[in-house]
Amino acid sequence: MLQLARALATASQQGRHRSTARGGSAEFYDFRAYTPGDPTRLIDWRLLGRTDRAYLRRYRQESQVNLVLVVDASESMRFAGFDASAGTRRGRSKLRRACELAAALAYLAVKGGDRVGLVMAGCDSAALAPASGWPAMHRIVCRLDALLEASRASETRASVGATENPLEAGLRSAESVAPRSGIVVAFSDALDDSAAILSAFSRLRFAGGGSFAAAHAGRRDVALVQVLADDEVGWTASGAATLTDPESGLRIETDLQEVAASYREAIGLHIAAVRRGLVAAGGRHVLATLSRDPIDVLRSLLGS
């Protein structure tokens, strides 16, 4: 997982972020006139000698971001699509892709000197609070590798109650570990109720409740990478079948040809509603089908 994360991160050509805030670092930003009370150590003495006026040198501040990754580990994330011609499931699951993207983003954060944490929704695993350095990266990769191994062994089971969907529970857990000025990126198929998902993102982004509290407590940046199998987006099928919900175990006997068109319309409306709601809240939405190049997904997420 670590080698793949490094390869994806490098290919996405993203490096350390830079803040527009000014402070004390190695990179000069600009000058401003000296006023009484300013630290004299910042005075440019050569400029004072040439102009007979005192100016301060200002420097660009590099801020350390706190990034929390939320990976949906619920049952539906095991789905990889179905190869109708071969009568078999495809190899790479949504969970696998979510872990790969999360690991690559963690690598970018650690390489840039930022702090990164992890929440795994839908399974019994303690959250990792944001930490910096390669030991933090190692802990995250080990946790993700263990999750994938448990998934292959069919050991992972949804642990949230029926009243709360896995992504909602994961975002709620992220509230407890993500600083109010941090960034939370979730990787999920987000196939639960869109209103509940958007409500959870809204609570996470506007920490503190009312407008006054939100304005003074800071706002988290939020993003959702919606990982879906291609079959889930453009499903075409015919014939009788039994459909099973992997989360609840509910079974439905149906004729696929009759429901396929309605399903495609419904999933399109659901994706659009989630995207629209996130953008309205100031968040970001990226659709990551399993056929989409993960490097392209990272670039879309990072805004390049």
**SS3 category, 50:** helix
Q: How confident is the model at residue 53 (pLDDT cuts 50, 70, 90)?
A: confident
Contact 201, 188 (CB under 8 A): no
**Residue-averaged pLDDT of the chain:** 81
The span from the CA of 153 to the CA of 150, in Å, is 5
- Residue 34 scores a pLDDT above 50: yes
H helical segments located in the chain: 2-11, 45-51, 94-111, 134-152, 166-177, 194-205, 211-217, 230-233, 256-280, 294-302
Q: What is the mean pLDDT of residues 76-93?
A: 71
Q: CATH top-level class for 2-12+64-302?
A: alpha beta
Domain with CATH 3.40.50.410 in the chain: 2-12+64-302
Distance from CA of residue 137 to its chain's centroid? Answer: 16
Q: Helix %, strand %, coil % for the chain, to 5?
A: 45, 25, 35
- Higher pLDDT residue, 96 or 241? 96
- Residue 235 scores a pLDDT above 80: no
Specify the pLDDT at position 65: 85
Specify the pLDDT at position 160: 42
Plot region of 215 (φ>0 → left; ψ -120 to 50 → alpha; else → beta): alpha
Specify the pLDDT at position 92: 84
Please write the tens of the pLDDT for every residue from 248-293.
Answer: 778 888 777 778 888 889 999 999 999 999 999 889 999 999 999 9
- Residue 130 scores a pLDDT above 80: yes
- Residue 138 scores a pLDDT above 70: yes
Of the ranges 18-27, 31-40, 271-280, which one carries the lowest mean pLDDT score?
18-27
- Higher pLDDT residue, 271 or 59? 271
What's the whole-model pTM score?
0.76
